[in-house]
Chains A and B, each alone.
Chain A
Amino acid sequence: MQTLLQLFEPVQSWLFENLVLPLLFHTGYMSYAEDAFSATGDFVLALAEIGFIYLLLRPLETWAPAEKWEHRRGVRTDVIYTFLYKTGALPFIFFLLLTAPLGHLDYTLRELGYTPPNLEELVPWLGQYPLAALLAYIVIIDFAEYWRHRLQHRFDWWWALHAVHHSQRTMSFWTDDRNHILDGLFKSLWLAFIAQLIGASGSQFVGIVFVFTLVESLSHANLRFGFGTVGNRLLVGPTFHRIHHGIGVGHEGGQRGCNFATLFPIWDIIFGTANFTRVTPPTGIRDQLDGVDYGEGFIDQQWKGLVRMWRALTPTKSAAK
């Protein structure tokens, strides 16, 4: 990871010293210099990662698509989501919203005598092996993400937001960031809570986000191949995740869906939600076939998501109307 980051160091340093730092100095926000330096690095890394993913997956989608589309117009909005989330515009807003309450929580916990533990403190040898520590954090966060995903499908109001993600009927490698902003905020809160619980640091989060981004882009790609019988059970791939997005299978039934895992299908296997059948269902939500509109553009999708959530939270009033 460090070697990868070193490749982009000169760009990060140049951008920071020539654009970001003068801006912070002149606006009186120098105390955010270190956070901004990291964010600049994350921004550069995100651009590089988007470029890498595009160069790798776009030709593959042309060569071996799971679904053949007449055009890729439906993908365009997802490109906007990708840049808003990955390059930091939306995470920046979340940072502004969450810094004060999380800081207060941190302070209160410490005053009560609670100092967050570290995984490395519980398992000391991990402290000497950063890669092993990173893997351990990834496994724990993936487990937490599995359950967050289950809850997104379980609660009607949360599903109303998450449906923005599932309403994509031309699912491609750009789709992983297609999420309602409020849903994104909940995710940030959830991850901050997990980080507080297990003590993952900012530098570890860079590596964690990098791995999740790569796998999630790949798992959403419009590809008709997976990783084989064994591989599909080790890492979430395009065929496994396509079933999760499939009309009629991905978000219906007793468990309200299947294949919820982000990185490791083991969670689905353990909790009985795995579906390894070799099918390639069309993606989307069943009621879209009946003409229900989940929105076309970014604003439209966000607004309709809020309306759906409101209706889910106030079912009687909606029914009375």
Chain B
Amino acid sequence: MALRRLVFKLLLVAAILPSVTHAEIAIVLNSKDDDMSLIDTTTYKVIKRVPLGKEPHHLIPTPDDRYVVVGNAAGNDLVMLDPSSGDIVKRLPRIADPYHLGFSPDQKWFVITANRLDRVDIYRYDNGNFTLAGKVPLPKTTSHMAFSRDSKIAYVTAQDSNQVAAIELATQKIIWKTSTGKEPAGVWLTPDGQHLLVGMTGEDYIEIFSPMSGKSIKRLKTGKGAHQFLPQGDGRHAFLTNRVENTISIIDMQKLDVVESFRVPGGPDCMELRKDGTELWVTSRWINRVSVVDLSTKKITQSIHVGRSPHGLYFPTHAARQ
């Protein structure tokens, strides 16, 4: 009996062991050092730095979560990473200026904002294959994107011409284009699909538009350098980084109001949220660190030194993007 209990315990330990010893990694893109920092999310220690390519800015998991796609803006290529180890699996060369990246919700489209080239490149995505469908020129410095729920439209900001545009993916035609405040960057569609939120990096507010017509509905004051969004996963709230004010605002996407703001140093930019909603990880670009915020206290609990100008950030067990 004792032997059976021992065997049972050993089997139990063996079953549990991989999840205990196999630490999750966070991938942080050091845009000015052309590499990535891989951080153990349990110990908050940098495991290693790995060369990636020139100017990696943003990253996104493939729809099947098999890879994480990194865009090397100056390197003109995409790098596919294994999300569990951070290992480079393959490279897709000759992809011009991949700055911000996005997959449509129906997983049929892959969109790139070519920031330096003032255009949006739209690819058909089919089972890991990227086929260029069309290039859509926009006035100046295409920045960030969001998609309509039905995957028919991509909303793209043009940072230096102070515009946001809606592009029909199937035809690659601009449906509408409208003027905004200074330096529109991050863009997010509310869960009900009724409001398009745009962070104004050259102002201290986000501007809210109708996704149907492009008409400006409201300006909501958040903080200087309003920049990038990340949903809190509850279908109602979203975080917004204010890069000049050094704060993060929590926005109620139903009431279209700011719930609260808290301080994060060093020009907060991209974010990632733990699946259980306890911790927010933020790249602090001007101090070359990742700041970890305990969301129960809104205090910084970890400040992890990474490479220069850390930008995109990802770990697999994150909160739902809603």
Q: Measuring CB to CB, which residues of chain A are less than 8 angstroms from any residue of chain B?
A: 2, 5-6, 9, 13, 16-17, 21-22, 25, 28, 30-31, 33-34, 37-38, 41, 103, 106-107, 110, 115-116, 118, 120-121, 127-130, 199, 201-204
Contacts and interface: CB of A to CB of B under 8 A. Distances in A.
B186 interface: no
15 contacts: A13-B266, A31-B160, A31-B201, A33-B267, A34-B32, A38-B32, A41-B308, A110-B114, A118-B76, A127-B53, A129-B51, A199-B54, A201-B55, A202-B55, A203-B55
Given A25-B225, A118-B54, 13 more contacts: A2-B307, A13-B266, A13-B286, A13-B288, A17-B267, A21-B244, A25-B202, A30-B225, A37-B309, A199-B74, A201-B74, A203-B55, A203-B308
B257 interface: no
Q: Tell me whether chain B's interface is mostly helix, strand or loop, or mixed.
A: loop
B183 A31 contact: yes
Contact of A128 (B51, B183, B202, B287): B51
B55 A16 contact: no
Nearest to B55: A201
Interface residues of B, number: 42
Interface string B90-125: 000110110000000000000000101110000000
Given A34-B309, A107-B118, A203-B308, A130 B34 contact: yes
A29 to B, nearest CB: 8
Q: Tell me whether chain A's interface is mostly helix, strand or loop, or mixed.
A: helix
A21 B96 contact: no
Given A17-B266, A34-B309, A116 B286 contact: no
Given A107-B118, A118-B75, A127-B53, A203 B32 contact: yes
Contacts of B32: 34, 37-38, 202-203
A9 B34 contact: no
Contacts of A9: 287-288
Given A9-B287, A38-B32, A202-B55, A22 B159 contact: no
B51 A127 contact: yes
Interface in B268-310: 285-288, 307-309
Report, nearest first, the 4 A-B pairs whose CB atoms are least far apart: A201-B54, A30-B202, A115-B76, A30-B183
Contacts of A116: 76
Contacts of A110: 96-97, 114, 117
B141 interface: yes
B32 to A, nearest CB: 5
Given A106-B117, A110-B117, A121 B309 contact: no
A18 to B, nearest CB: 10
B33 interface: yes
